[in-house]
Amino acid sequence: MQRWTSRLALMCVFACSSIAAAAPPAAPDAGVDALMQRYDGQVPGASVLVLKDGQPAFRRGYGLAVVEDGTPVTPASNFRLASVSKQFTAAAILLLVEDGKLGIDDPLKKWLPSLPAVADTMTLRQLLSHSSGLLDYEDLMDPADTRQVHDADVLALLEKQNRSYFTPGTDYRYSNSGYALLALVVGKASGSDFASFLRQRIFLPLGMTNTFAHQDGVDEVPHRAYGYSQIEGRWQRTDQSTTSAVLGDGGIYSSIDDLAKWDAALYDERLLKAASLKQAFSPATKTTEPDVPFYGFGWRINGDALWHSGESIGFRNVIVRYPKQQLTVIVLSNRNEPEPYPLAIDIARRWLDAAR
């Protein structure tokens, strides 16, 4: 307890100092504005942040967070991160490893014993790196049931399936199921619920006061951006689906301003120890996905770049980090298209090319 308390105090010092220090205004950039033109105006929009050497080099909102009343996107607008959330789920597991509450190679069934025999050899490491072979819970849902599923419902679906895509540990297949189960493991190992653990151990210590693993009826998302899809030539609100309440694989809401604090914490030990960060950022599984030679723990790895995208109904997001160059690009959008990863790479090149 004493070690955790002292670390919390240290994290608060870092977070409070970063809040107190006024960041210099980010310079305008006509080139970035040109790349973001389709997001500007009376349409669902986007937030863009470029961090260079720990400071905002570009920071701007485009378009609308709420189309119906014309609320504009600002750097404080909170978007559903979708699978960008996975890096926080992985960080929660690593924090609990540091606390001595669990082991990265623990059998999954140590924590979720109700799973069938097919899960006997599955480990937390395999869930983190998408090498467990767990079935995709979305394929197991009843299409006629319009109720939202939660992380516990994912477990209930998997309890009935004594089969997997492959023998655990022998292959890679991206798994939302795995990260939903990891959220349940966080709850069991910590004695808290997943959303509260993230809030108390990650978000508040880092000063991410407006970031939530959102639960309807439990919390309110401030400055919320709502999701939209272009249907028959016009933008229609498509903010929630039957899977939008699953937290571990994609339920976090955050802004570029809060994510700047998260990015800063990934460069030092204010949250996780260096050994834990190294684990998260090291290749754990080979993949055949484009621009993803390897997957770590909640991060895609492509040479010097660490990145992750997030896609959910009405939202498309990406964070791309180049730690060696001290460069990060974040694009959050509240629309169903386009995929912003190529856009983030184009934005990053403006700084990468200038440094050559």
Q: Lowest-confidence range among 25-29, 210-214, 349-353?
A: 25-29
pLDDT at 26 (0 to 100) = 64
Give dist(CA 82, CA 185) in Å, integer: 20
Catalytic residues: 83
64-90 pLDDT, tens digit each: 999 999 999 999 999 999 999 999 999
- Its pTM stands at 0.93
Does residue 68 belong to any structural domain of this protein?
A: yes
DSSP H helix total and E strand total for the chain: 11, 15
- Helix H or strand E segment including 124: helix 124-128
For residue 41, pLDDT beyond 60: yes
Token pair 């599955």 in the structure block, residue: 122
Token pair listed for 350: 């403006």
- Establish if 20 belongs to a structural domain: no
Number of folded domains that form the chain: 1
- Residue 30 — very low, low, confident or very high, per pLDDT cuts 50/70/90? confident
Structural domain range at position 121: 25-354
The answer to whether residue 9 scores a pLDDT higher than 60 is no
pLDDT averaged over the chain?
93
- pLDDT over 60 (residue 22): no
Residue 6 has pLDDT above 80, yes or no: no
Tell me: the pLDDT tens digits for 140-178? 999 999 999 999 999 999 999 999 999 999 999 999 999
Q: How confident is the model at residue 13 (pLDDT cuts 50, 70, 90)?
A: very low
Residue 19 forms part of a structural domain: no
Report yes or no on 4 lying in a domain.
no
pLDDT of residue 12: 44
SS3 category, 281: helix
When mean pLDDT is compared across 10-19, 208-217, 294-303, the lowest value belongs to 10-19
325 C-beta neighbours (distance < 10 Å), count: 15
Question: Do you find a cis peptide bond into 338, omega within 30 degrees of 0?
Answer: yes
Residue 326's CB is within 10 A of a number of other CB atoms, namely: 15
- Residue 265: inside a domain: yes
Measure the CA–CA gap between 240 and 280, rounded to whole angstroms. Answer: 30
Alpha-helix runs per DSSP H in 36-99:
86-98
Tokens 């609308």 found at: 64
Is position 10 within any domain?
A: no
CB neighbourhood size of 42 (10 A) = 11
Q: Give residue 228's pLDDT.
A: 98
CATH number for the domain including 313?
3.40.710.10
Going by the DSSP 8-state scheme, the letter that residue 213 receives in this structure is E
Is 1 part of a structural domain of the chain?
no
Q: What is the pLDDT of residues 172-201, one digit of tens each?
A: 999 999 999 999 999 999 999 999 999 999
Confidence of residue 25 (pLDDT cuts 50, 70, 90): low
Q: Is residue 2 part of a domain?
A: no
Kindly list the distances between the CA atom of residue 60 and the CA atoms of 14, 20, 155, 326, 356, in Å, as whole numbers in the listed order: 25, 21, 40, 20, 25
Q: What is the pLDDT of residues 249-265, one digit of tens each?
A: 999 999 999 999 999 99
- Residue 27: pLDDT band (50, 70, 90) is low
